[in-house]
Structure 1
Amino acid sequence: MQTLDNPNLTNTPAFDTTIHRRKTRPVQVGDITIGGGNPVVVQSMINEDTLDIDGSVAAIRRLHEIGCEIVRVTVPSMAHAKALAEIKQKLADTYQTVPLVADVHHNGMKIALEVAKHVDKVRINPGLYVFEKPKSDRTEYTETEFTEIGDKIRSTLEPLVISLRDQGKAMRIGVNHGSLSERMLFTYGDTPEGMVESALEFIKICASLDFYNIVLSLKASRVPVMLAAYRLMVQRMNELGMEYPLHLGVTEAGDGEYGRIKSTAGIGTLLAQGIGDTIRVSLTESPEKEIPVCYSILQALGLRKTMVEYVACPSCGRTLFNLEEVLHKVREATKHLTGLDIAVMGCIVNGPGEMADADYGYVGKQPGYISLYRGREEIKKVPEDRGVEELINLIKSDDRWVEPE
């Protein structure tokens, strides 16, 4: 039996804590690659009117500067689509190129064909791309009606697929639970199965045209529906031998603490199962507020390392200093040291054990004194009022300190 690397432990199974990500094909979006084993990509969307060239450029730049790797914009009209040419050029002239995705809805073939010239990826919604006006008296779809609409979808989608294929660009087939087509609703109901079949219909058209630069999303505002849809999509792709990367998100998650928890519950659950290649947290707040949540989810799961990882106990009657205050001081002094793990523990009971994986530890071992650790090794004991200063000195002595900007 395989055992842990500790001579004091025998016959203890070694559990693999690594998240093994689902194998997916790489899809290039500008200079960013989604899937293919690459790091999970962070996305967001500006809320400026795309006709506002300067405002859109500024919004895209703000997002990109704080770590958003792909930025989405909406294109509700032909004028908006053409404006993207100016936005792209102005970004290149005043900042740098940024991978851009255009959102196309409602009978959007002409708009999509225009915008495909200017962006790196086009997102279409199968429920709206060929809009079916609902009939209030409908009781069923005949096989003929089903086929006719399928043929219309193909004829409408084909020019866009060919354009993206020939330019080496990408498409996101973005299904939303709240906007399934009437035909899918009648056939499968308002279900994850309907979402998956809607995506598969478009995927098969793309594949018949030798186009595979596809990213899929199956978003819902209810986390259980979202989870079921993505899991079923993976199951169906496995059955069909498909390896398309997945874009994860809980749509219309809301704002504040609950919006963040809701997004984390959906996105984090799937990522922990190895499902997902790019994410967007959808908050009813400024887009810049979404990026820290994305990185926190990825960091917590060990999928990206973008900040210092702080390990801190919740405090109890054994705590020998004001833990909340000290954690704040340590964080303020060291938060720029991306890649380090730092533990702040209130007492010796939990300290060395709970912080065993940390690079450095700050532990209350006796009243008025702080014990500083490098990994599992206690390095020195210092007066409490010099604790943060001496922690910095320890990091400097290991040549792992950088001055904050």
Structure 2
Amino acid sequence: MQTLSTPQTAPTAPEFDTTIHRRKTRPVKVGNITIGGGYPVVVQSMINEDTLDVEGSVAAIRRLHEIGCEIVRVTVPSMAHAKALAEIKQKLIQTYQEVPLVADVHHNGMKIALEVAKHVDKVRINPGLYVFEKPKADRNEYTQAEFEEIGEKIRETLEPLVISLRDQGKALRIGVNHGSLAERMLFTYGDTPEGMVESALEFIRICESLDFRNIVISLKASRAPVMVAAYRLMVKRMDELGMDYPLHLGVTEAGDGEYGRIKSTAGLAPLLADGIGDTIRVSLTEAPEKEIPVCYSILQALGLRKTMVEYVACPSCGRTLFNLEEVLHKVREATKHLTGLDIAVMGCIVNGPGEMADADYGYVGKQAGFISLYRGREEIKKVPEDQGVEELINLIKADGRWVDP
């Protein structure tokens, strides 16, 4: 459940403040979840089932939602898929509960988008694909007249969707992808963050002219430095233009395994640390359920959401008085279901109390064969090593902070 926090702007923060001061953005409702407006950073993912498979899609959405995915996206490549979403939405309500849903619409998608807007909470469009621009092999520039002509075609195609979403109180994500910029943007700005930003701004201006501002912006790229630059430029341009739209962050096509996770973190963390970003997705070439723990781990590491135990552990050295890796594993297995605690596992007394000063509880090898248990900075008791984990649990229970798995 979301909890409202008061957003602050980075310039007012002290020079060496360790708190992340999030960029102030307008709140955008997506079902029962709010993106921006000082609410916690929202976690998203996308199912990979064919949307025509209603039963399979409902099951996939439920699996994601049950493990903490707050908004789920589904692909809608045809009118049949759009109509299937009505069944999916209804079946979710009948068999589970309402889940905020986003429809992904590509390729000349006005009719599809208009249909699906009736059934979901947000529609995502890609400016580079929403209106087809037939490439010319011999083109070396776009005239202003050509640019404006296509701009007017975009407006004609986008306007009915914007009006529908506006009148229903629903949201739109303008989702720019570095790999699918429109041809005229490529000719005008090159394959650059600037082209990504201008592509988004063109669509934003049309929305604003129709008095519609329930907008979320994304500027994804498969290379983290391009993605980071695009979002920073977008913030700069929005600040200049007096815009405060929330941002959806993601490194698209990050891959799989350890590198996919590192690549996503490399793109998300610098922006989140600067207070930029209101909702995130980690795009892995794996089961969608694998994305959610990575999202929460990134947010937890930055102090933006507290959804699990934070473990502080030293890397081990010659002073360590027990098998640190084994003990950390035991402590984690016993306490990983808890929420909101910081637990330190330190191998010796030299750095232990100092390095774990901010932890709620400490497990320190202070004397061979014995463990010293701490509450904050205070040493509570010394126990035999083989009783350490059990006594740590007893200490947490005594403080009323334990819940059974």
1:194 aligns with 2:188: no
Please give the alpha-carbon distance, in whole angstroms, between the structure 2 residues aligned to 1:85 and 1:64: 18
Please give the alpha-carbon distance, in whole angstroms, between the structure 2 residues aligned to 1:135 and 1:252: 29
What corresponds to 1:113 in structure 2?
Answer: 114
Please give the alpha-carbon distance, in whole angstroms, between the structure 2 residues aligned to 1:39 and 1:345: 31
Please give the alpha-carbon distance, in whole angstroms, between the structure 1 residues aligned to 2:15 and 2:55: 55
Please give the alpha-carbon distance, in whole angstroms, between the structure 1 residues aligned to 2:154 and 2:258: 40
What corresponds to 2:398 in structure 1?
Answer: 397
Query: How far apart are 1:134 and its partner, in Å?
Result: 1.3
Please give the alpha-carbon distance, in whole angstroms, between the structure 2 residues aligned to 1:38 and 1:367: 47
Q: Which moved more, 1:101-110 or 1:393-402?
A: 393-402
Structure 2 residue identity aligned to 1:126: P
What corresponds to 2:213 in structure 1?
Answer: 212
Instruction: List alignment gaps of at least 5 residues for structure 2.
Output: 1-13
User: 2:333 aligns to what SS in structure 1?
Assistant: helix
1:99 aligns with 2:100: yes
Aligned residues: 392
Cα deviation digits, residues 328-352 of structure 1 (max 9, x gap): 0001111111111100000001100
Cα deviation digits, residues 171-213 of structure 1 (max 9, x gap): 0000000000000000000000000000000000000000000
Structure 2 residue identity aligned to 1:299: Q
Structure 2 residue identity aligned to 1:315: S
What corresponds to 1:148 in structure 2?
Answer: 149
Query: How far apart are 1:131 and its partner, in Å?
Result: 1.4
> Normalising to structure 2: TM-score of the pair?
0.96
What corresponds to 1:27 in structure 2?
Answer: 28
User: 2:208 aligns to what SS in structure 1?
Assistant: helix
What corresponds to 1:284 in structure 2?
Answer: 285
Cα deviation digits, residues 307-366 of structure 1 (max 9, x gap): 000000011111000000000000111111111110000000110000000000000001
User: 1:311 aligns to what SS in structure 2?
Assistant: strand
Please give the alpha-carbon distance, in whole angstroms, between the structure 1 residues aligned to 2:348 and 2:16: 28
What corresponds to 2:241 in structure 1?
Answer: 240
Structure 1 residue identity aligned to 2:119: H
User: 2:49 aligns to what SS in structure 1?
Assistant: coil
Query: How far apart are 1:401 and its partner, in Å?
Result: 1.2
Please give the alpha-carbon distance, in whole angstroms, between the structure 2 residues aligned to 1:388 and 1:181: 58
Structure 2 residue identity aligned to 1:292: P
Please give the alpha-carbon distance, in whole angstroms, between the structure 1 residues aligned to 2:305 and 2:185: 37
Matches within 5 A, 1:159-198: 159-198=160-199
> Normalising to structure 1: TM-score of the pair?
0.96
Q: Which moved more, 1:140-149 or 1:278-287?
A: 140-149
**Pairwise CA RMSD:** 0.8
Please give the alpha-carbon distance, in whole angstroms, between the structure 2 residues aligned to 1:182 and 1:301: 38
Structure 2 residue identity aligned to 1:90: K
Query: How far apart are 1:389 and its partner, in Å?
Result: 0.8
Runs of at least 4 residues off by over 6 Å: none
Please give the alpha-carbon distance, in whole angstroms, between the structure 2 residues aligned to 1:201 and 1:401: 52
What corresponds to 2:123 in structure 1?
Answer: 122
Structure 1 residue identity aligned to 2:400: D
User: 1:146 aligns to what SS in structure 2?
Assistant: helix
1:257 aligns with 2:252: no
Query: How far apart are 1:15 and its partner, in Å?
Result: 3.8
Please give the alpha-carbon distance, in whole angstroms, between the structure 1 residues aligned to 2:217 and 2:376: 42
Cα deviation digits, residues 134-170 of structure 1 (max 9, x gap): 1111111111111110000000000000000000000
Matches within 5 A, 1:300-315: 300-315=301-316
What corresponds to 1:54 in structure 2?
Answer: 55
Cα deviation digits, residues 103-162 of structure 1 (max 9, x gap): 000000000000000000000000000011211111111111111100000000000000
What corresponds to 1:374 in structure 2?
Answer: 375
Query: How far apart are 1:402 and its partner, in Å?
Result: 1.2
Please give the alpha-carbon distance, in whole angstroms, between the structure 2 residues aligned to 1:281 and 1:325: 30
Matches within 5 A, 1:321-360: 321-360=322-361
